[in-house]
Amino acid sequence: MPEGPSIVILKELTQQFTGKKIIGVSGNTKEDKDRLLNQKIIAIKSWGKHYLICFKDFTVRIHLMMFGSYAINEEKEGRESRLSLQFKNGSLNFYTCAVKFIEGDINDTYDWSADIMSPDWDTAKARKKLKAAPDLLVCDALLKQDIFAGSGNIIKCEVLWRVRLHPLNTVGNLPAPQLKQLINETHNYAFDFLEWKKEYTLRQHWQAYAKKICPRCNIPLVKEHLGKTNRRTFYCWNCQLIYE
């Protein structure tokens, strides 16, 4: 599933369509796609893992899920799109994704301060939300989109390795400096992710995710499905500490 930085890249790549009128619509979405015909895009935004195409009175939300993809100014041969938008000079096509229409002002739906890549990201709000859930495992906390919108499994594993925290720590047991570091590094790593993704070097910078050996300790990393989310987690039993 694409994480926040990948959706930011999609947002940046498609700014060319802001202010453009849709002259053709197709796709197998069950939403009322014909409503989009002759509508003018007023903004293209992202929130976490959501890609948002904004119109005057409503917004189209695209969630690429696990296997979604897109094509800009071209189509994927042999693939039926979920939603395709045609413009006078170009097209925007989405495949194997979830499409939803959101009515009204998009600012009434999204808390931009929860998006780890937003200029409105608020560390104090993230800290308050975490402190309100002391029994939450940090491996689950980093996947909660209402706290860290845009964070996913790669960011989770890499941040926990960076800050030397075992994924089975509970939020309530973390000393204040470690909690602060966890929040700050989640925000910081998202922008490192973005830079490396644009350079096509993201995998080269992984220290824990999908790796076999801890680069700090030179011992095998542990791979387990952990937490209520039961997501694949890579960590070092030696340098990632548990606080009790």
What pTM does this model have?
A: 0.93
Q: What share of the chain is helix, strand, coil (3-state, %, to 5)?
A: 30, 25, 45
Q: In one letter, which amino acid is 133?
A: A
Average pLDDT, the chain: 96
Q: How confident is the model at residue 72 (pLDDT cuts 50, 70, 90)?
A: very high
pLDDT tens-place string over residues 129-171: 999 999 999 999 999 999 999 999 999 999 999 999 999 999 9
Position 53 pLDDT exceeds 90? yes
Token pair in block for residue 237: 């039993």
Looking at 63-67, 92-96, 184-188, 192-196, which range is the least confident one? 63-67
- Could you tell me the domains of the chain? 4-108 (3.20.190.10), 113-235 (1.10.8.50)
Q: How confident is the model at residue 78 (pLDDT cuts 50, 70, 90)?
A: confident
Contact between 207 and 224 (Cβ < 8 Å) = no
Residue range 37-60: mean pLDDT, rounded: 97
Position 210 pLDDT exceeds 90? yes
Q: How confident is the model at residue 77 (pLDDT cuts 50, 70, 90)?
A: confident
Contact between 53 and 20 (Cβ < 8 Å) = no
Q: In one letter, which amino acid is 38?
A: N
pLDDT of residue 1: 73
Name every residue whose Cβ is closer than 8 Å to that of residue 116 and which is 6 or more positions away in sequence: 4, 48, 148, 149, 150, 151, 186, 187, 190
Name every residue whose Cβ is closer than 8 Å to that of residue 148 and which is 6 or more positions away in sequence: 114, 116, 126, 141, 142, 155, 186
Contact between 191 and 214 (Cβ < 8 Å) = no
Q: How far apart are CA 130 and CA 153, in angstroms?
A: 18
